[in-house]
Amino acid sequence: MTADIHSLLNDASTALIIFTASAAIASFFTKSFAARVVAGVVVVFVALLVPISTRSLFEWTVSTVGRLSLPGLVLLVTLAVSATTGRRIARSAEFRFAALVLAVAGLVLYPAATGFLNYDTYMLGYSGYLLPSTIALTTAYAIFRGYRVMTVVLNVAIAAFLLGIGESRNFWDYIIDPVAWIIGCGTWLALAAGFLLAPIVKPAKVLATAQPSSGIGETPISH
Amino acid sequence: MLINRSSGALAGWAIALFSAILIVLLFLKMAPQNAPWTFAINIPDTPVRGPLEPSADVLTPTGEHRFVHAASAVETSDGVLAFWYRALYEGAANAEIVSARFDGARWSKPRIVTDSARVSGDIGMTVKSLANPVPFRRSDKEIWLFFAASRLSGWATCEIEMVRSLDNGETWGPVERIYASPFFNLSHLTKSTPFLFADGRIGLPVYQEMNRKFPVLLVLNPQGKVVDRRRIGGGGKVGYQPMIVPTGPSTAIAFVRRLRHASPHKILMSRTDDGGKSWTPPAPIDLPNPSGPISAIRYDASHILMAFNDDPETERNITLALTDLEVKTFRRVGVIARMDNTLKKANVAYPFLISSAPGQYDVVYSRPLGTINHVRVSSAWIEHGAQSLAAQQ
């Protein structure tokens, strides 16, 4: 039973990653919601069937990624919705803030915890007030700005940690995972690139014929 | 409209209140424990007794064609239970962790504890190979067995797993993941004996393999979950496979295997004087090391007994030595295994030392291309060897 749950959660994480990436790529070629969903589903099945050495691509991904954290899962679901529907989530201040928090948190955690620095920041997730204080401030800001989804996700992550659900007893593992970090960094790199390229792209747009855009997201979810 | 607005505000306040409660509980749960860390010190009774000659035997069946390595052992009420891993070659898929029982006269046939397929099924992801089983006696009947499982390819993609036996190693429960790293739970491996803290927590010496190689102490709660992690030294490209020997309630020594391309070719050592919370940077001591692991146990009130490769270049022999608790003086007591110079790659590697009874010591080690070996020595042999070598010097 426990093994089945582990397997289900691991497989679901990988399926979501492959689906989202495929739907996002498909969004460059089609505006159709159905076509993007089909592309995502087809690639998941292809990943299940294509063997690389002794395992399928899907199994390799499961063995690499394991299981996402709750914030990572919510972020990926949001991206999946964006990739299939074309909603432009980067226009959401809540999404941008969540991505920024994950990008900064990952930058604090991963280089140090994997040995690039001689101080182990992963220890902060076992005990001490620094990480809870940071999360308290983040939650307070999310409440203040009315970021309901982010507040709820943080609350559920804290509750899961308090109840000891999950294999880790380290608070970091309930609020971030490397996939979420990559998405957070990717989002802000894309935003930064967009900001830097805007002066170059805008004059070109003036000359171009107005066309409905396609690709990841045109319609903001909020804000 | 007004109702919607007020219900929205109410929901907002409810979320804020709920968040505040959770944050308070989070602060309470993560409140730093100011109690000092203390080791459970068990000074062994070491009567001078037993035969003056070591006894030696082979655990693996004749004609074993697989790669066998990283033997370890734990004492049982009637002898010794040994573990090792076997695969087609080092790091190959479909590896097995096996055990064999010694009743004082002969070894039983190896039995499979677990294998790659079972580990994959239990943790819900495919693993390739298994390695480095290390047992921990949890109680008279219960044994925990930690080992490394490579998820992709190569030891850098390992995570640590654990299986429990409630009947002294006859049967084993499902595999549980030891969660030790935020980066996809990569890349830690086991090698050396776990030990107990005074409050019932368990110290598991492990090492980080990917990117940098440095020794790490994982602290597990009595349920087997990692509740703290401390680097032995600051980190960096240091050394690996730490062997920790508590020497006092708050002091301990960690012997560390040097990196293959590092100099000097000596055993490294780190110390703690705060119960393992912090460790000095590993520094060389006056014993050679060909980049092989060291095994050590408390011998008596004032000595540590070590098993190591007494050579700076090759795992040519396995030697036992006594050292004081400060690790300042050493007395070699004898060589218990030598490399067969007529064979290629016949090095004697990965000694694992235990005391299976008062005054009785067992070392298991591997000749990786074919056999797992066992040597039993007595305290009489150790004392005699120490005195003879001292007299020669």
* pLDDT surpassing 80 at residue A215: no
Contact A120 B229 (CB under 8 A): yes
- Per-residue pLDDT of A79-98, as tens digits, reads 999 999 988 888 899 999 99
Give the end-to-end CA distance of chain A in Å, rounded to a whole number. Answer: 43
pLDDT exceeds cutoff 70 at A220: no
User: Position A62: which residue type?
Assistant: V
Taking an 8 Å cut-off on Cβ atoms, the answer to whether A132 and B230 are in contact is: no
Q: Is A49 on the interface with B (CB under 8 A)?
A: no
Does A134 touch chain B if contact means CB atoms closer than 8 Å? no
A113-to-A117, B85, B166, B240 alpha-carbon distances in Å: 8, 29, 35, 17
State the best of A114, A119, A138, A161 to mutate against chain B, taking most chain B CBs within 10 Å: A114
B291: CB partners within 8 A, 6+ apart: B257, B258, B259, B260, B262, B265
The confidence band for B302, taking pLDDT boundaries of 50, 70 and 90, is very high
Share of chain B above pLDDT 70, in %: 98
pLDDT band for B369, please (50, 70, 90 cuts).
confident
Instruction: Please say if the pLDDT value at position B95 is more than 80.
Output: yes
Per-residue pLDDT tens over the stretch A202-214: 665 544 444 444 3
Give B48's pLDDT tier (boundaries 50, 70, 90). Answer: confident
Does the structure show a pLDDT above 60 at A179?
A: yes
pLDDT value for B10: 86
Average pLDDT, chain A: 88
For the cut 50, the answer to whether the pLDDT of residue A155 exceeds it is yes
Residue A125 confidence (pLDDT)? 97
Concatenate the DSSP letters of all residues of A54-74 into one string.
TEEHHHHHHHHH----HHHHH
Enter the pTM of the model: 0.92
pLDDT on residue B146: 98
Q: Do B125 and A66 touch (CB under 8 A)?
A: yes
Percent above pLDDT 90 for chain B? 82
pLDDT at B235: 83
Model confidence at B389, pLDDT cuts 50, 70, 90, reads low
Model pLDDT for residues B174-184, shown as the tens digit of each residue: 999 999 999 99
**How far is C-alpha B121 from the chain's CA centre?**
25
| Joined tokens for residue B147 | 């080992």
A3 Cβ under 8 Å from any chain B Cβ: yes
Q: A40 and A23 in contact (C-beta within 8 Å)? A: yes
Give the pLDDT mean for B228-255: 94
Closest chain B residue by Cα to residue A168: B179
What does the alpha-carbon distance between residue B114 and residue B96 come to, in Å, rounded to a whole number?
Answer: 6
- pLDDT tens digit sequence for B136-195: 999 999 999 999 999 998 999 999 999 999 999 999 999 999 999 999 999 999 999 999
Residue-wise DSSP of B148-216 = EEESSSSGGGEEEEEEEESSTTSS----EEE---TTTT--EEE-S--EEBTTS-EEEEEEE-SSS-EEE
- pLDDT at res. B9: 82
Asked if A62's CB is within 8 angstroms of B126's CB, the reply is yes
Mutate which: A118, A145, A162, vs B, most B CBs within 10 A: A118
Are the CB atoms for B284 and B263 separated by under 8 Å? no
* pLDDT digits 0-9 by tens, B259-292: 988 989 999 999 999 999 999 999 999 999 999 9
Reference A118, options B212, B298, B190; nearest CA is B212
Q: Residues B70-83: pLDDT tens digits?
A: 999 999 998 999 99
Tell me the mean pLDDT in the region A52-77: 93
Average pLDDT over residues B19-48: 93
